[in-house]
Structure 1
């Protein structure tokens, strides 16, 4: 039991959290850093007996990222205690789809209060396309936060995320987070590219073959 609680706390802390105060990440970083990313409906929940976990039953409608043996995700777990970064699902709409990203312990999947969990309908068109098509192909690229100028990249695989400079409460609605991805430019260099233009070029190339 103790080891499980330690893992849950470490899972929370590993996502830029301290005492459950979480740092926001670019959606591409969310995808690349998470062990699983799915689109799912939260249909039920129950407290585990003799356990410090809460179990959410989900109906997975789309798997964007997961180990092959865990592609049929039916349950996700979180800590019961808020002090251990337990996640509390507020929506009572069982038909609403959510983008859910989290981590894996053994053969079980976990989320916490620092996990990226958002209504699918709240994501921008470009973010949806990113999760579906683009982010997975560019996880070698790295997104570096820029909190205060001057700031610069450390290597050619990094893109500076300057949305944090605007001190926005919701960084996910920032221009780079909502519309751009850090992608390979074909010359061992990662650059920001509009997801719309990037996807358009992908479709154009595909149709020209």
Structure 2
């Protein structure tokens, strides 16, 4: 059956296009760059390198529309051979434009970075080190390694199903986000992966859940 084109169809299409463009124009650069929530443990486990680095300077000349930052690695928690080669010159590259998910890093500031490449952006795990909790710092230093066989699955409702070898995580819940690490419980599947995982009941995590954090 052929589609009958008429003025009503044209008006509807024009109105839809105008509304869509209007919404896009109202988005801030950060909103236009959508990032899927990622727990610090997931960032650690999936990263080729995990470091704490000081930002020394930003290149005055942009390279292909990117800002290039010179860094000094203060702590190295995880590093595979490929990442070691990439970071040999001590550089991080990020889009110069916020609308392209670029990062604006502060000179002399310490950042914790967990990534696969020297190209980083708003969706990368790049956090000011002094703003992280002691649990997150210790996690990146190696505590998270124990939980890498587990999967942390973002959950946006109160009734998410618990799947094998995973912990549900609500990104806006501070206890799991800032004080939690997901670790294997007893029991494994035939392939050796954990059958169950749970949030580690560390003293800080328990205090957070009990509302007794100072």
SS in 1 for 2:162: coil
Tell whether 2:42 aligns with 1:35.
no
Contact preservation (8 Å) 2:48, 2:83: no
Contact preservation (8 Å) 1:130, 1:195: no
Tell whether 2:201 aligns with 1:194.
yes
**Structure 1 unaligned runs (5+)?**
1-16, 199-209
SS in 1 for 2:121: coil
1:50–1:86: structure 2 CA closer, same or farther, 3 Å change rule?
A: closer
| 1:7-40 deviation line (CA, Å, top 9, x unaligned) | xxxxxxxxxx984122332111121233322100
Structure label with greater radius of gyration: 2
* Cα distance in 1 for residues equivalent to 2:112 and 2:202: 18
Tell whether 2:112 aligns with 1:99.
yes
1:46–1:183: structure 2 CA closer, same or farther, 3 Å change rule?
A: same
| 1:113-136 deviation line (CA, Å, top 9, x unaligned) | 112222212111111111112212
| 1:112-169 deviation line (CA, Å, top 9, x unaligned) | 01122222121111111111122123212001111112111222x111113x4xxx4x
Tell whether 2:187 aligns with 1:184.
no
**Structure 2 unaligned runs (5+)?**
1-29, 189-195, 206-214
Contact preservation (8 Å) 2:62, 2:68: no
Q: Superposition RMSD on alpha carbons, in Å?
A: 2.5
The answer for the alignment partner of 1:136 in structure 2 is: 145
The answer for the alignment partner of 2:93 in structure 1 is: 77
* Cα distance in 1 for residues equivalent to 2:61 and 2:203: 44
Cα drift, residue 47 of structure 1: 4.9
Q: State how many pairs are aligned.
A: 166
Provide TM-score, normalisation by structure 2. 0.68
SS in 1 for 2:142: helix
SS in 1 for 2:70: strand
Which is worse superposed, 46-55 or 177-186?
Answer: 46-55
SS in 2 for 1:130: helix
* Cα distance in 2 for residues equivalent to 1:103 and 1:69: 9
The answer for the alignment partner of 1:45 in structure 2 is: 58
* Cα distance in 2 for residues equivalent to 1:124 and 1:52: 34
SS in 2 for 1:128: helix
Contact preservation (8 Å) 2:95, 2:101: yes
Which is worse superposed, 72-81 or 136-145?
Answer: 72-81
